[in-house]
């Protein structure tokens, strides 16, 4: 069977670990900077006061004036989530994380170890820890397992047999479907509020009205495909951090610090010559907040310069000065070498490759997107008079 | 026939590199920037003037400031004395 462990409002719970006193008060995750002013997950006290996740900030504060807004702490959430996944893996579950707060695993391999599906789910809930209020669901289909976990109470495990999937899903709300807000709204306007009502409609009509996403939602409402769960490869635990004596916001200093971190991480003996496929850059910011970005390299690499160039632009996204910068090598490739060309392309061949590359860029971004910088008066004291950007259409 | 959109046509002609961009600057009593794009200026690193093309009908008179904002970001802004407006530019 496919099992799902769900922790609603994981980001808020992770942020509240540093401020446990707020857990019993009306609190909500503050909107992300630069995003829509919508509150994130809310505490039980806030929900009792009428605040709902996704509510407009102004409306939430008007509904509950004593509402405390908690700033998101993505680095802490990621660290807590990783710890939790490691505990599940230690208990023998090959986890396939969907997103922070939602993980799937296959129970077949551990049913005999723990004495059945229910016992295995209990073990998984215990591995997560009761402080997180996890819910578990299991079914033969992935979406049904997620739906079961969504309706289970905290600490409860709900198992749905394949013969009961349709009957189980029918009364559940369509909010469970992975649809955009506009599509959910369209369904509600059409009077479709329950999965059973959607499943009862002709598939062709749903696809015509809502497009491919609607067709997928319709299929899920009927139980979805059986699918398979692929256990993740446990992450490489190579982490390097650099603490600054005082907050740093200067990009040049941060780039130098990043260069030092990349060098130190690549020099770690645990890497064992393997190439890096996925990295995570995180920072502790002034004021206690945190920031984190992950990057998957198109081609696994072990060169300091390539990794530094790939990560460099992420530093421009830092919202505040940094107290600590941290680099994780999240995933390492198995390869320890790279196939190089015996003869490096030169002359006409190199020119042909460049032209082909530019043609592809032009094809994907439109005419005028490939340009050449032509210096016209590099000596000028007026910066914009020094060079022109000329489109290349050859 | 469908005409080219303005953006598409603009994308196909040569343009200047590093054109000045309008900036929201609050100057102090001495004319130096205090806030740039709503962020307070932490340090004024350098200041210089550019006076050029005074012999033409489009003279250039600018007072440049290289500043570090409280967020740690570096910015170069200038006041165009001819137009009486503030701009940002990579100088």
Q: According to the model, what pLDDT value does residue A336 have?
A: 66
The encoded tokens of residue A388 equal: 């022109």
Across the interface, whether the CB atoms of A250 and B68 are under 8 A apart is answered yes
DSSP codes, A32-76: PTTS-SB---B-HHHHHTT--TT-BHHHHHHH-TTPEEEPP-HHH
pLDDT at A225 over 90: no
Cα–Cα distance measured from residue A144 to residue A98, given in angstroms and rounded to the nearest whole number: 15
Q: How confident is the model at residue B3 (pLDDT cuts 50, 70, 90)?
A: very low
Q: Which of residues 233-272 of A touch B (CB under 8 A)?
A: 247-251
Please state, in angstroms and rounded to a whole number, the distance separating the CA atoms of residues A78 and A80: 6
Q: Mean pLDDT throughout B53-70?
A: 92
- In a domain, residue B4? The reply is no
Q: What is the pLDDT of residue B50?
A: 94
Q: For residue range A233-253, list pLDDT tens digits in order.
A: 777 778 999 999 888 888 888
Count of domains in chain B? 1
Q: CB pairs below 8 Å between A and B: how many?
A: 63
Residue B8 has pLDDT above 60, yes or no: no
- pLDDT, residue B1, reads 34
Mean pLDDT of chain A: 85
Distances (CA, A) of A277 to A235, A264, A297, A327, B65: 11, 17, 5, 13, 42
CA nearest neighbour of A392 among A362, A364, A363, A371: A371
- Can you list the pairs that B24-31 forms with residues at least 24 positions away whose Cβ atoms lie under 8 Å? B24/B86, B25/B77, B25/B79, B25/B86, B27/B79, B27/B86, B31/B63, B31/B79
**Which of B13, B20, B53 is opposite residue A384, by nearest beta carbon?**
B20
Is A368–B68 a contact, with Cβ atoms under 8 angstroms apart?
A: no
Tokens of residue A122, six digits: 């209990």
pTM: 0.59
Tell if the CB–CB gap between A386 and B52 is shorter than 8 Å: no
Q: B71 and A320 in contact by Cβ < 8 A?
A: yes
Tell whether B1 is covered by a domain.
Answer: no
pLDDT digits over A61-105, tens only?
888 888 888 888 888 888 888 889 989 988 888 888 888 889 999
ipTM of this model? 0.84
Question: Which residue out of A291, A315, A368, A374 would a mutagenesis test of the B interface target, given it has the greatest number of B Cβ atoms within 10 Å?
Answer: A368
Which domains are present in chain A? 1-18+73-234 (3.30.70.270), 19-72 (3.40.1170.60), 238-332 (3.30.1490.100), 349-391 (no CATH)
pLDDT digits (tens, 9 = 90+) for A329-351: 988 887 666 677 777 778 888 88
For residue B5, pLDDT beyond 50: no
Nearest CA in chain A to B43: A250
Alpha carbon A162 to its chain's center: 30
Provide the domain limits for residue B48.
18-88
At A394 the pLDDT is: 65
Mean pLDDT score of chain B: 85
Beta-carbon separation of A249 and B19 below 8 A: no
Measured distance CA(B85)–CA(B40) in Å, rounded? 19
Please give the residue of chain A at the shortest CA–CA distance from B14.
Answer: A390
Res B60: pLDDT: 94
């Amino acid at each position: 069977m496919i099992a799902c462990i769900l922790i609603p409002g994981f980001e808020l719970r992770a942020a509240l670990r540093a401020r446990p006193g707020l857990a019993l008060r009306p609190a909500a995750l503050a909107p992300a900077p630069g995003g829509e002013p919508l509150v994130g997950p809310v505490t039980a006290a806030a929900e009792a006061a009428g605040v709902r996740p996704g509510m407009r900030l102004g409306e939430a504060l008007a509904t509950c004036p004593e509402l405390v807004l908690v700033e998101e702490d993505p680095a802490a959430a990621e660290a807590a989530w990783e710890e939790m996944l490691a505990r599940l893996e230690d208990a023998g579950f090959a986890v396939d994380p969907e997103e922070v707060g939602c993980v799937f695993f296959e129970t077949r391999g551990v049913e005999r170890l723990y004495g059945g599906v229910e016992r295995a789910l209990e073990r998984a809930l215990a591995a997560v820890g009761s402080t997180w209020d996890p819910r578990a669901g299991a079914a033969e289909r992935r979406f049904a397992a997620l739906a079961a976990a969504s309706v289970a109470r905290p600490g409860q495990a709900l198992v749905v047999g394949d013969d009961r999937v349709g009957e189980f899903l029918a009364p559940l709300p369509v909010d469970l479907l992975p649809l955009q807000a506009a599509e959910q709204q369209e369904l509600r306007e059409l009077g479709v509020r329950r999965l059973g009502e959607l499943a009862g409609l002709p598939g062709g009509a749903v696809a015509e009205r809502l497009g491919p996403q609607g067709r997928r939602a319709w299929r899920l409402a009927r139980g979805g495909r059986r699918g398979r769960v692929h256990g993740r490869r446990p992450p490489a635990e190579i982490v390097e951090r650099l603490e600054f004596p005082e907050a740093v916001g200067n990009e040049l200093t941060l780039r130098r610090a990043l260069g030092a971190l990349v060098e130190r991480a690549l020099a770690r003996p645990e890497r064992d010559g393997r190439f890096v496929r996925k990295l995570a850059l995180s920072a502790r910011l002034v004021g206690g907040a945190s920031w984190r970005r992950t990057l998957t390299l198109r081609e696994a690499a072990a060169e300091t310069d390539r990794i530094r160039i790939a990560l460099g632009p992420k530093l421009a996204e830092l919202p505040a000065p940094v107290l600590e910068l941290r680099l994780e090598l999240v995933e390492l490739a198995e390869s320890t070498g790279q196939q190089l060309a015996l003869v490096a392309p030169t002359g006409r061949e190199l020119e042909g490759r460049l032209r082909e590359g530019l043609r592809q860029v032009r094809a994907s971004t439109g005419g005028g997107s490939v340009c050449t910088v032509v210096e016209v008066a590099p000596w000028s004291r007026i910066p914009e008079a020094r060079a022109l950007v000329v489109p290349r259409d050859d | 026939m469908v005409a080219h959109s303005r953006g598409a046509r603009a994308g196909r002609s040569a343009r200047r590199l590093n054109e000045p961009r309008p900036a929201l600057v609050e100057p102090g009593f001495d004319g130096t920037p205090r806030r740039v794009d709503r962020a307070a200026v932490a340090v004024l690193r350098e200041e210089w003037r550019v006076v050029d093309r005074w012999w033409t009908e489009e003279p250039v008179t600018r007072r440049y400031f290289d500043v570090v904002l409280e967020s740690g970001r570096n910015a170069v802004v200038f006041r165009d004395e001819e137009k009486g407006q503030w701009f940002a530019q990579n100088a």
